[in-house]
Structure 1
Amino acid sequence: VIVLSVAALMWYGLIRQVVLGFPVGNNPASDAVLILFWIIFGIAFPLIMLKWTKLIVEVREDGLYIRFTPFHLHYKKFLYKDIKHYKTINYSPLKRFGGWGFRVNFKGETGYIMSGKQGIELTLKYETVVISTIKPEKFIKGMDAFQNDDL
């Protein structure tokens, strides 16, 4: 949302001042400066963010670790001891969460969604977390293997 908002603001400024000829603000920047900012923040920044944004999900010995780069600096961990239940799911990101990215819906569920319609659903003590993945069965098998090692 932030990236798209900044890009939209740059596009608005460019169209209003350079194309239509109406200055933006009380002390407008020159057209050259506005065009430079538009190239950087209206085109390059959104494209770079789309390329660098990724969801890293790791199954580890003690739990499931996720990191939504570049927004999370550290991994968020869901320890097995805190997970009551987990399963693979097919869902619509648009219907369930209103889109893609880091989302919280009206039911209080948290979604870490990049693409596709498959994922894993973690039922924790106080919340439900949905994590998108193109191979949910692999994550379930990995989680099952670590859970069985503890028995």
Structure 2
Amino acid sequence: MEYYEKQNFNQIWIKIISFISLLTGIATSILFIKESNYLIACLTFLPCFSIFIFFFIANLKVYISNNVIKYKFFPFNIKYKEIIINENISLDVIEYNPLSDFGGWGIRKNGNAKCYSTSGNFALRIKYKEGNNILLGTLKPDELKTYLDSIHIPI
């Protein structure tokens, strides 16, 4: 039995801002091309295009099986990071405020907690006995709780 979730940046305001960034890059590049300044045109367009592409390809994948949690936040993590489920950690599904707790979505750090999230305000909190926490965002908190119960992990 396994649990899998993939999240993207689906907020409409992020898509609008990234699209405006792309349009701005195109418009300013056209102006520089008309002046035969191709280097400035490229240097203007590439960052705007990169922002646009980033928000469409970035995603968080979380995979949980009986004894391991795997996650990656693409494009920053190409390979999955693994956490072995054992007596040194505890797991719980929590509701949190991404803006006030971590300053937004993405890969964020606040004190001894690191959060990976693309949207929403629920997360799987992985608490280590030494005090560090990792939060993995989830858009399916009830399904995740049910799964953790089914593999007999107390939450």
Q: Work out which of the residue numbers 46, 49, 60 in structure 2 matches 1:55.
A: 60
Matches of 1:62 and 1:98, distance apart in 2: 31
**SS of match in other structure, 1:99:** coil
Is 1:112 the counterpart of 2:105 in the alignment? Answer: no
Structure 1 segments (4+ residues) deviating >3 Å? none
Count of matched residue positions in the alignment of Structure 1 and Structure 2: 126
Partner of 1:36: 42
Higher RCO by CA contacts (8 Å cutoff, separation 6 or greater) = 2
Q: Which runs of 5+ in 2 are unaligned?
A: 1-20
Paired amino acid for 1:74: K
Paired amino acid for 1:111: C
Q: Which runs of 5+ in 1 are unaligned?
A: 1-6, 19-29
Matches of 1:103 and 1:82, distance apart in 2: 26
CA change 1:61–1:75 in 2 (3 A) is: same
Mapping of 1:87-126 within 5 angstroms?
87-105=92-110, 107-126=111-130
Matches of 2:102 and 2:77, distance apart in 1: 19
**SS of match in other structure, 2:119:** coil
Mapping of 1:15-34 within 5 angstroms?
31-34=37-40
TM-fit CA distance, 1:117: 1.0
Matches of 1:31 and 1:125, distance apart in 2: 58
Q: Is the 8 A contact 1:59 1:139 kept in 2?
A: no
Matches of 1:138 and 1:83, distance apart in 2: 24
CA change 1:97–1:43 in 2 (3 A) is: same
Per-residue deviation, residues 104-135 of structure 1 (Å, max 9, x unmatched): 11x21010111111112111123111111110
What do you get for the CA RMSD once the two structures are aligned?
A: 2.8
CA change 1:55–1:99 in 2 (3 A) is: same
Aligned residues with identical type, % of pairs: 23
* Greater per-residue strand proportion: 2
CA change 1:83–1:68 in 2 (3 A) is: farther
Matches of 1:85 and 1:110, distance apart in 2: 15
